[in-house]
Structure formats: structure tokens, C-alpha cells
């Protein structure tokens, strides 16, 4: 039985470990042992409490692994990935760190390692879908609309975050990079709202966020944008807070006390944004690809609507992110992906058989991407 070590046992890491458990020998690692309480009593998953910010500890824990899954918080993602690659272990990563992953490509090749990054839903499946079609037709534009939301809409923000508010706010601050007519341009986050109808829910509002990540480097497509979806109203209130400096990182000194507005704002939002692990929530995504195939203009649309698993309590966020990761991990563990180096998911999608296998895998978990093709005039 092959050995998989899952670094990080948060909401997604746990779902990954449980999904791999029937087929592999799985070790889940986290600094916080209370995370392990979420595993069923009869689970065969090995649990290891360890501080993953310590390089030596990681090396020890992964020494016998056939594959590593990186599911640590973003701020420690790059360092963890580098440690795993240095140690000669293949890895599928969903830590979504901000550093440039391609810095690690030559290291991965040198160590004979397969390292797949950003392997969640978006980034993740969205990249694979684009990679798949980009390999087949001449893609002109790519649009991705994605959001994870609670079913219950509580005024005013109608939002729950499975991670710290400060990370959400970070997405609302960082300028969004888009591709327009072949050029990368920056637009302010939270701008250019569009109303998007989601069959199962109603109308959502999408706005610019900086979500294209590796796609800005890896594919030569003239028009690309990624937008985040929230319930209508959320964006406006965030815009107001942003406009008034409530998201500012600049420390303020008032009455001799120094604090950054973003820290206070994160603290105040935390109470209402904190996602109860049992909160019924969903993931919605819409991808629109247009392009030319043998002088025929095509429009290909994918829609995803996934809800939390009522029986197991696994959130939709964990399902859609985690099962893209496990589906891809299987390709490595089964010896199908043997290429060495660092791969963003669009590179995986470019291989039709790999892409269709991942799609099948997540479909077997009840996650369905519905594809609709149209010929355009």
C-alpha cells in the first residue's frame, strides 16, 4: 500500500485524508491535535501532531512517503513546498501561497520530483479546464466566476469565511490582474460588478479579484478574467470599508496606541464571518471559454454547483477543493503522471486523458461540471 502524508488537517486537509484513506496508507499532520477529532472513530488514518514550520520535522515525517499533499495555510505554503521538493518527494499542493511557484521548477526537476500546485477548484479545476481546451482549440477568451457561500444570507455581509477575515480582505485589496487584448492590465479589486444568475440560488454579484495566478504566465490567451461571486450587497459594503481606510495596513497611532485598521476590521468581522463547520454552504462556478476551431467560433461553458455533504458533514469548499487534489494525486500514485518539475493545473489539463480522469474522479464524488457547447456566428 502506497504511503501518503497530508500536511495540514484543516477543513480541506481532513477531507483529503479521508478521501485517500480507503486506497492508501494515510498520515495526517497538524500542529493542532483537536483537528483530528473530526476523523471518524474507525478511521485508519495515522495522526501526527507536529509544527510544520520546522523543516527538520517535515523531512522526518515525509521520509517514507510516496506522495505528499500540501494543505497548510497560505502564509507557510511556499516554504513547506520547497522543503518537500528539496527532500525529493512528489507533492500535490493546495496551500495557494502568494510567492512565485516557478522559482521551484528547476529544483523539482533536479530532485526528480513531480510538484503540482494550486490544485483546488479555482485555482485548480478552472485551470485544468482551460488547459484542456487551450490544447484543442485556439482560445480567445477565458472567464471564470467562482464563489463559496453559505445558504443562509445574514445581513449585511451575507458571507461566511472558512479562513481568517484578513485573508478575504487581502483578496479585496490586492489589484486584480486581467488579460485584455493580449496585455496584462490591473484593475482595482471589488470593481466591475456583474450580476450572475445561479439556477439553484438566484442572482449573485461577481467582481474583479486577482485570481488568474499562474495563467498569467503559462498560457498565451488574449483575454482572461477571474471574478469572485458573493450575494448582492456584500461587495458594496466592502467597497465602503475599503474606501474609508478600514482595510488599511498603515498603522495608526491614537491615544498612544498603535494599530492597523485592517487588524481591527478583521477582528470585528471575525465574529460574524466565522464559518461553523456545520454551516450549510455551496460552491458555484461558471467558466466561459470562447475560441476558434477550424474557422468555427465556439463557446464552451462549464457550470458547477456543489453543496455540502449532509451525511458526512464535509463542506462543499472541502469537497470541490480536496477532491480535485485527490483525483490528481491518484494520477501520480498510479504512475500515470511521471513528468518531473513544477506543474500548475493547466499543464495537467493539457493532457486529455489526465483531465478526463480527474473529471471522472470528482464526478464519482458527486461533483458535476456541466458542459454546454455552442457554435457562435
Contacts with its own copies, residue ranges (CB under 8 A): 155-156, 237, 239-240, 243-246, 252, 254-255, 257-259, 261, 263-264, 267-269, 271-272
Residue 172 Cβ vs its own copies, minimum distance, rounded to whole Å: 15
Distance in Å, CB of 347 to its own copies, minimum: 41
Dihedral over Cα of 337, 339, 341, 342: its sign: negative
CB nearer its own copies, residue 137 or residue 166: 166
Our CA dihedral for 237, 243, 247, 253, rounded to 10 degrees, sits at -130
Q: How far is the CB of 69 from its own copies (least distance, A)?
A: 33
What whole-number distance in Å separates Cα of residue 176 and Cα of residue 347? 23
Report, in Å, the least distance between residue 233 CB and its own copies: 9
Q: In the complex, what is the shortest distance from the CB of residue 175 to its own copies, in angstroms, rounded to a whole number?
A: 20
Cβ 76 to its own copies, closest distance in Å? Answer: 20
Q: Which of 341, 285, 329 shows the shortest CA–CA distance to 105? A: 341
Look at residues 68, 77, 155 and name the one whose alpha carbon lies nearest to residue 111: 68
Query: Which residue lies nearer to its own copies by CB, 195 or 259?
Result: 259
Q: How far is the CB of 68 from its own copies (least distance, A)?
A: 34
Closest CB to its own copies among residues 60, 270: 270
Q: How far is the CB of 11 from its own copies (least distance, A)?
A: 24
| 53 closest CA partner among 86, 21, 75 | 75
Cis peptide before 358 (omega within 30 of 0): no
Q: Would you call 251 exposed, middle or buried from its count of C-beta atoms within 10 A (0-12, 13-18, 19+)?
A: exposed
Burial of 244 (0-12, 13-18, 19+ CB in 10 A): exposed
Q: Which is nearer to its own copies, 238 or 359 (CB)?
A: 238
d(CA 43, CA 317): 22
- Closest contact distance (angstroms) between CB of 256 and its own copies is 9
Contact 36, 29 (CB under 8 A): no
d(CA 340, CA 321): 23
Q: What does R_g of the chain's alpha carbons equal in angstroms?
A: 20
> Among candidates 131, 10, 1, 3, which has minimal Cα distance to 70?
10
* Closest approach of its own copies to the CB of residue 53, in Å: 20
Rounded Cα distance, 357 and 369, in Å: 13
Q: Quick one: 75 or 244, whose CB is closer to its own copies?
A: 244
Q: Which 3 state secondary structure label does DSSP give 289? A: strand
Rounded to whole angstroms, how far apart are CA atoms 183 and 223?
Answer: 8
**Which residues lie below 8 Å from residue 360, measured CB to CB, with a gap of 6+?**
none
In a 10 Å sphere around its CB, with 0-12 CB exposed, 13-18 middle and 19+ buried, how is residue 281 labelled?
A: buried
- Whichever of 264 and 356 has its CB closer to its own copies, that residue is 264
Pick 184 or 240: Cβ nearer its own copies: 240
Is 37 or 271 the residue whose CB approaches its own copies more closely? 271
For residues 73 and 261, which CB has a smaller minimum distance to its own copies in the complex?
Answer: 261
Residue whose CB is less far from its own copies, 272 or 303? 272
Amino acid at each position: 500500500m502506497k504511503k501518503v502524508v497530508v500536511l495540514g488537517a484543516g477543513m480541506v486537509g481532513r477531507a483529503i485524508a479521508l478521501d485517500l484513506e480507503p486506497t492508501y496508507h494515510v498520515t495526517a499532520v497538524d500542529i493542532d491535535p483537536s483537528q483530528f477529532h473530526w476523523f471518524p472513530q474507525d478511521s485508519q488514518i495515522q495522526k501526527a501532531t507536529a509544527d510544520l514550520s520546522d523543516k527538520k520535522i517535515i523531512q522526518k515525517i515525509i521520509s517514507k512517503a510516496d506522495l505528499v499533499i500540501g494543505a497548510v495555510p497560505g502564509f507557510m505554503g511556499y516554504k513547506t513546498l520547497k522543503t518537500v521538493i528539496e527532500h525529493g518527494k512528489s507533492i500535490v499542493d493546495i496551500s495557494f501561497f502568494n510567492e512565485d511557484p516557478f522559482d521551484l521548477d528547476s529544483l523539482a526537476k533536479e530532485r526528480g520530483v513531480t510538484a503540482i500546485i494550486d490544485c483546488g477548484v479555482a485555482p485548480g479545476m478552472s485551470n485544468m479546464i482551460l488547459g484542456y481546451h487551450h490544447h484543442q482549440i485556439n482560445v480567445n477568451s477565458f472567464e471564470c466566476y467562482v464563489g463559496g457561500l453559505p445558504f443562509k444570507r445574514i445581513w449585511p455581509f451575507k458571507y461566511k469565511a472558512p479562513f481568517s477575515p484578513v485573508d478575504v480582505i487581502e483578496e479585496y485589496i490586492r489589484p486584480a490582474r486581467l488579460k485584455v487584448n493580449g496585455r496584462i492590465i490591473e484593475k482595482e479589486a471589488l470593481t466591475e460588478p456583474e450580476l450572475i444568475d445561479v439556477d439553484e440560488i438566484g442572482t449573485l454579484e461577481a467582481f474583479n479579484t486577482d485570481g488568474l495566478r499562474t495563467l498569467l504566465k503559462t498560457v498565451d490567451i488574449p483575454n482572461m478574467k477571474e471574478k469572485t461571486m458573493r450575494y448582492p450587497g456584500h461587495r458594496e459594503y466592502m467597497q465602503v470599508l475599503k474606501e474609508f481606510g478600514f482595510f488599511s495596513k498603515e498603522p495608526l497611532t491614537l491615544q498612544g496606541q498603535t494599530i492597523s485598521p485592517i487588524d481591527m476590521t478583521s477582528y470585528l468581522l471575525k465574529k460574524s464571518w466565522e464559518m461553523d463547520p456545520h454551516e450549510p454552504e455551496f460552491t458555484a462556478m461558471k467558466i466561459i471559454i470562447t475560441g476558434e476551431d477550424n474557422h468555427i467560433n465556439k463557446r464552451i461553458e462549464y457550470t458547477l454547483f456543489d453543496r455540502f455533504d449532509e451525511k458526512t458533514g464535509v463542506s462543499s469548499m472541502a469537497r470541490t477543493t480536496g477532491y480535485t487534489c485527490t483525483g490528481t494525486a491518484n494520477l501520480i500514485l498510479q504512475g500515470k503522471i511521471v513528468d518531473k518539475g513544477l506543474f500548475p493545473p493547466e499543464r495537467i489539463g493539457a493532457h486529455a486523458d489526465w483531465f478526463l480522469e480527474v473529471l471522472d474522479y470528482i464526478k464519482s464524488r458527486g461533483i458535476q461540471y456541466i458542459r454546454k457547447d455552442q457554435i457562435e456566428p
